[in-house]
Structure 1
């Protein structure tokens, strides 16, 4: 069996950090045979993105579904000033509210290969 890709250091931007850690924990567990992902931090607001990214130096950043596309773009721009080759992924606005946590986990897992490989 081949080694999992990674490790990838992930920072999430989510106003509900406990939910972010729980959902990402499910994803990490589900994909651990393919990818090694370390959830290195969470920024609870746009104001916290710079310090969180500077501290964690992630390879990957996810913006949660509570952000508008404009806010997600702003978050990504801030993060890329610090880590220019950062891989970024924005959940569609409202996904968590409309379809629940299982849909979020599924959506992330479906999109990981395109993001990480």
Structure 2
């Protein structure tokens, strides 16, 4: 099984690294996910995607739905076939880091699609 290359779009890179690290550890028996990098600014999304060519992109909960849609549109335009996942705005504030980790893990099979288990 090949590694899934993930880019996160989060204005707090330490938080992204910590949360994704927990997810990667918790799902390592089913998926091999490599957190390639985090992008902090919208204007850096496209060049980072062009450079890294990831399989998967997550938008964090600090983005508005419109911003998350913009990031996803850029990702799909830049890397054909990329899988994307947007964490709902405010989830980190409402449910804390544990809630975000659980939300990602619960949705990962649907995001990655069949054949990734």
Please indicate, yes or no, whether the TM-score normalized by the shorter chain is above 0.5. yes
Q: Which residue of 2 aligns with 1:13?
A: 9
The answer for unaligned runs of 5 or more in structure 2 is: none
The number of equivalent residue pairs is 113
1:83 aligns with 2:54: no
Deviation (angstroms), 1:6? 3.7
- Tell me the equivalent position of 1:105: 101
Deviations 1:55-91 (A, max 9, x none): 2110000000001111001001111121021100000
Which structure 2 residues correspond to residues 54-65 of structure 1 after superposition, within 5 A?
54-65=50-61
Q: Which residue of 1 aligns with 2:41?
A: 45
TM-score, normalised via structure 2 length: 0.93
Q: Deviations over 1:2-47 (max 9, x none)?
A: xxx5410000000000100110000000000000000011110111
Gapped regions of structure 1 (runs ≥ 5): none
Q: What's the counterpart of residue 93 of structure 1?
A: 89
Aligned mates of 2:2, 2:96 — CA distance in 1: 28
The alpha carbon displacement at 1:104 in A equals 0.3
The runs of at least 4 aligned residues of structure 1 exceeding 4 Å deviation read: none
Give the structure 1 partner of residue 29 of structure 2.
Answer: 33
CA distance in 2, matches of 1:36, 1:6: 7
Q: Cα RMSD between the aligned structures?
A: 0.9
